Amino acid sequence: MPLPRALPSILSLDDFEDAARRRLPRPIFGYIAGAAETNLSRDDNRQAFSELGFVPRVLRQVSGRDQGVDLFGTRYATPFGIAPMGISALSAYRGDIVLARAARQAGIAAIMSATSLIRLEEVAEAAPGTWFQAYLPGDIERIDALVDRVAAAGFKQLVLTVDIPVSANRENNIRTGFSTPLKPSLRLAWDGLTHPRWTAGVFLRTLARHGMPHFENSFATRGAPIMSASVLRDFSARDHLNWEHVARIRARWQGQLIIKGIMHPADAALAREHGADGIIVSNHGGRQLDGAVSPLRVLPEVARASGGMVVMMDSGIRRGTDVLKALALGAHFVFVGRPFNYAAAVGADAGVAHAIGLLRDEIDRDMAMLGIVTPAEMGPGLLAARGQPGQALIPRENG
């Protein structure tokens, strides 16, 4: 089946970014691409991968390669999934459903975001097996009601993102004209006029078929519309949250509980003590604390402190080689964010499927050239720090 017109020239996940830049209005693209303050953490997410090189094995009979992995009792086709991304329905029509549906068809994991504009029940119906990511509301009653709603919708994995006690300083949003709530302006109108495919295919189509988008899943009840001043109030009051709230959710939630935003080994140990089934090592794609190191830099220590939990990672992954480096340092699975958002904006379901296929094919080739046939064989002995010839990152275990 031929690819849509925009996709044959896209050969890597990075290529989607330039294509999305042309298609999306500047404020929407800026919201996705930007990070906090100086973008130091976002840039370090990529830099950390470049500081590691491979030490491949040869003549290993790798014809039987299988990159599938088992996670929480489910077999996934690859060791990567789609990270949660807020307001995806502003970059692609019904974006949350597009992402979740493409992931399900490819046999990979996807996490929908609490700051989505489509009801979680609709996503669960369109793509059973999707995970749900929640930000904890500000009071116990709302927390309990949200947890119950997620369970009633049929989700089995609840991902608590815990690295937003306060809103980040995202100067990039202001510079590109994005605000929460969205504010009508001449600049926003001009961006819409100069991007007619987005205006007609996403914004006006959404208004005509579904009305003004609301934040649908921050609470058990419907949240504010994206142009309402009450949006800011809805996302406040998180600075008092603590591990007692996690314990309460663990007692109430019967599925897998995953804590996202872990960067310190001590917090990994606390997550285990409070009943988490897994953690996601993450600096929020560099969108929160500017100056936080890349998750890849702390991954080995966090994995050692995990005590048998499932360890996952996101932030900065763009290539199959990145996926395998993360697996070598202790991750069981990784998540990729921005590139899949761009892919949905560029090509809807076909765009996301193309992005998944590109990354999956890279991993297959990389595994063959590294001399491994399963992701479980990827260990630290196949890595070396660049600039230190012959010196493994830590003692080799793949000899």
Residues 205-257: pLDDT tens digits? Answer: 999 999 999 999 988 988 888 876 666 555 656 888 899 999 999 999 999 99
> How far is CA 113 from its chain centroid?
9
SS3 259: strand
Q: Which option is the CATH number for 7-383: 3.40.190.10, 3.20.20.70, 3.40.640.10, 3.40.50.720?
A: 3.20.20.70
| Consecutive H or E run containing 268 | helix 265-273
Establish whether 161 is an annotated binding residue. Answer: yes
245 included as an active-site residue:
no
Q: If pLDDT is split at 50, 70 and 90, which confidence band does 182 have? A: confident
CA 122, CA 93: separation in Å to the nearest integer?
14
pLDDT tens digits, 153-170: 999 999 999 999 998 999
Establish whether 93 is an annotated binding residue. Answer: no
What pTM does this model have? Answer: 0.95
Look up tokens 């050692």; give the residue: 304
Establish whether 284 is an annotated binding residue. Answer: yes
Q: Given 210, 240, 264, 284, which residue is catalytic? A: 284
Establish whether 65 is an annotated binding residue. Answer: no
Helical spans, DSSP H, in 51-137:
95-106, 120-126
